[in-house]
Amino acid sequence: MASYKFIFYISIAYIFFWLIGGKSLISTTLHLLFYYSLFVVVKAVAVYVTGEDEKNLQEDESETGIDLTLNATILSQDDSY
């Protein structure tokens, strides 16, 4: 979160809420935290609904070539399972 882009956006948001909205600095901070939390929740729900996370996971598995299934896992030294 310490990039110049983030600092610029947070500054614009403070100016918008504080000067234009007539909010105090504490109220502005609480509003920004609320909207950021709302953004994170909506983004997580969107990823869950669209299944993008599972698609990315499947793509990552196919690229690595590592089989993590139980059949490929040796649970004992003598393969007796």
Taking the chain, what is the end-to-end CA distance rounded to the nearest angstrom? 47
Share of the chain above pLDDT 70, in %: 62
pLDDT, one tens digit per residue, over 33-43 is: 898 899 999 99
Report the interhelical angle of 4-15 vs 25-50 (nearest 10°). 120
Which parts of the chain are beta strand (E)?
Answer: none
Interval 46-61 mean pLDDT: 69
Burial classification of residue 17, based on how many CB atoms lie within 10 Å of its CB (0-12 exposed, 13-18 middle, 19 or more buried): buried
Q: 29 or 39: whose pLDDT is higher?
A: 39
Q: Is the dihedral of CA 66, 71, 75, 80 positive or negative?
A: negative
